[in-house]
Structure 1
Amino acid sequence: MNTIQLLHFADLHIGVENYGRLDTATGLHTRLQDFSRCLEFVVNTALECEVDAVLFAGDAYKHAAPNPTHESKFAEQLKRLADAQIPVVMVTGNHDISVSFGKASALNIFHTLGDHRYFFVAERPQLFRIETKHGPFQVACFPWPTRYMLLTKEEYKNLSDVEITRTIEEKCSNRIDKFARELDPELPSVLLAHLAVAGATYSGSERSTIIGQDPVILQSVLKNPAFDYAALGHIHKHQDLNRNGQPPVVYPGSPERIDFGEAEDEKGLCLVSLKKGASSYQFLPTPARKFIKIEIDVRTQDFPTEAIVQKLAACDVRDAVVRVAYTIREEQKDLIDVQRIYAALEPAFLVAGVSPRTEEIRSQRPRIGEDLSLSDALATYLEFKPELQGMKVDLLDYADRLIRELEELTE
């Protein structure tokens, strides 16, 4: 049987417009250009490698109500794949699904208007057989499991949040097991899912997935040998949860950085060689925008500004989003020349903040620029609140949900 070549990517999040500005030459936000550049790289790679199909594991946009410009940027690249007769299989992620029950998902338009030979959109668990030039393969699609799946049914309405989450986890596991039983054992198969998996590591926080309000699926469910590759989305850090084993259980990570929490993560996509019982993949980095955090302690320096400038000169900040934090003694405040520091950062794409931290005053107020979004301002504020670090990821997640709800209500 021939090896089938696939491209797997996820968590594009077009519409995130933090740490950027309006490009007066095009009228577009510079961060939209960043995300579009990475998406174009993904499609160029698919075309250059002549892959048999593309797998998108959810979260195309920042939220489920993208504006026409964001939709156009995503659609024009997918059209290039359809024009090349490359099938695209997509599942909805949590950001693609409206917080208002009954509304269409952000990917529904491809199901409604797309060429059914090339666009396969799963908004519910669904099994597809995909025909390619190197033979057929199967895709068991599992979109993000919403709480609506239970709350609309009378028998679940009195359950607590914890009970609802546990019930969803059980139903998800059972449905994936059912997929495994339904597969044609003669054909190679992929599980394409937007899920949180136990033991996975989140971007930035470097912590294992914890049991919370969102359902978490055990790794053992996804390592079922009936699948030859598990193509995941939802977590932005690239990782293989079954390294050196079969099937590979892979998060490709997001193609572009969202914020400073992802500064150290390499961004990219996965090229997959799909074969019964012997699949492999290659991670390819995308041209993502650099995010650089620079911290320096100058409390022992007689000339603290000079020390900071020398530190910056040793860092390649060209075209990067940069945040600087320096620690000084209280009596050194008058020795800091902020203008010289900003001048040293001139090659940067954007300076997200230059913030002092004093030895005596532990709770230093951060300098938050007017060009920061609400979520970015909150993230910057939390950086200076050590007592909140354990809750930072959850606080930002809840804030993002509230912002999404407000955006949908005002549309």
Structure 2
Amino acid sequence: MNDIIAVADIHEGINFGFNMDVETGISERAIDIHKNLVKAAEFAIDNHSKLFVIAGDLFDRTHISPTYREMIRKDVIEPLGKNNVGIWILAGNHDQPHSSKKGTSIDDFRGYPHVSVYRGPSVEEIVIDNKKVRCLIMPYMHPDSIALIVKEKIGKDVPPEQMFTAGQKLIKNWLKEKSEPDADYKILFAHYYVEGAKIRETTYPEILPGEFSFTKDMIPDNLDIAVFGHIHLHQSMGKIGNTEVVYTGAVERIDWGERE
């Protein structure tokens, strides 16, 4: 069954300075990446999927050229909608602004009734073939956003050296609480580095110094699967209790450092 299709780390809008198309100003390499996303959307349509999840970094920056946005709209958003496939777009570290009050190019798709854009933690329950599916959604949040959450919950400033640990504890508790209600299936979609994940050698860094990360014990052990974006290498990290932990991997290699 392919009721839910998940991809991540497309990085539409990434700049390649070679083989430029004169009319669009877009590199052929960027078109290759776009075509792979389109193939994934076509797979969802061909398999009568119910949901298409982009687990972070649809775009390479918070604001990208209208040309790329129109390509996504025409080749992905609208075809999926015409075939009754819902779309969930999670903010990733590249297309999530540092402030929740600032806009981002992924917000452009909120006007479609079949599209939901997530920039903060959320919970959704959907029904597929008469089965209740409970989904925990954890988009990427920058360290300064985590610091604000910690301050709001604790009621005071936390020393910088304690902020990450406090943030990890808060998110761990939130995920545990939200994973407890009954459902036929439970899924986590998130965009973070999980400690222990394998990273390819690359000149395009997936993890930046000082960014917020997940420890394995933050992931609830009562889920069916935890699907992560952020690391470009597709991989399974095994199980935490009953929860299978996987990275979708990027839809295409970004640079030579990601070659096999």
Report if TM-score (shorter chain) is over 0.5.
Answer: yes
TM (norm. structure 2) is 0.86
Q: How does 1:163-174 map to 2 (within 5 A)?
A: 163-174=162-173
Question: Whole-Å Cα distance in 1 between the matches of residues 242 and 173 of structure 2?
Answer: 21
Number of aligned residue pairs: give it. 252
Tell me by how many angstroms 1:47 deviates: 1.2
Query: What whole-Å deviation, never above 9, does each CA across 1:297-342 have from its counterpart, x for those lacking one?
Result: xxxxxxxxxxxxxxxxxxxxxxxxxxxxxxxxxxxxxxxxxxxxxx
Paired residues of 1:58 and 1:233 also in contact (CA < 8 A): yes
Query: What whole-Å deviation, never above 9, does each CA across 1:253-276 have from its counterpart, x for those lacking one?
Result: 100111121112xxxxxxxxxxxx
> What is residue 159 of structure 2 aligned with on the other side?
159
Structure 1 or 2, whichever has the larger Rg, is 1
> What is residue 73 of structure 2 aligned with on the other side?
75
Tell me by how many angstroms 1:65 deviates: 0.8
Aligned partner of 2:215 among 215, 218, 223? 218
Question: Whole-Å Cα distance in 1 between the matches of residues 21 and 2 of structure 2?
Answer: 41
> What is residue 373 of structure 1 aligned with on the other side?
none
> What is residue 122 of structure 1 aligned with on the other side?
118
> What is residue 192 of structure 2 aligned with on the other side?
195
Tell me by how many angstroms 1:10 deviates: 0.4
Tell me by how many angstroms 1:230 deviates: 0.9
Q: Give the RMSD, CA atoms, in angstroms.
A: 2.7
Question: Whole-Å Cα distance in 2 between the matches of residues 80 and 197 of structure 1?
Answer: 33
Question: Whole-Å Cα distance in 2 between the matches of residues 34 and 247 of structure 1?
Answer: 34
Tell me by how many angstroms 1:156 deviates: 5.4
Pair 257,134 (structure 1): closer, same or farther in 2 beyond 3 Å: farther
Pair 151,247 (structure 1): closer, same or farther in 2 beyond 3 Å: closer
Pair 1:131-2:127 in alignment: yes
Paired residues of 2:98 and 2:145 also in contact (CA < 8 A): no
Aligned partner of 1:141 among 137, 140, 143? 137
Pair 16,7 (structure 1): closer, same or farther in 2 beyond 3 Å: same
Question: Whole-Å Cα distance in 2 between the matches of residues 5 and 80 of structure 1?
Answer: 17
Paired residues of 1:223 and 1:242 also in contact (CA < 8 A): no
TM (norm. structure 1) is 0.56
> What is residue 248 of structure 2 aligned with on the other side?
252
Pair 110,187 (structure 1): closer, same or farther in 2 beyond 3 Å: farther
> What is residue 108 of structure 2 aligned with on the other side?
109
Query: What whole-Å deviation, never above 9, does each CA across 1:52-77 have from its counterpart, x for those lacking one?
Result: 21121111111111121111122221
Q: Which runs of 5+ in 2 are unaligned?
A: none
Query: What whole-Å deviation, never above 9, does each CA across 1:8-27 have from its counterpart, x for those lacking one?
Result: 11011001122533123654
Tell me by how many angstroms 1:45 deviates: 1.1
Pair 168,141 (structure 1): closer, same or farther in 2 beyond 3 Å: same
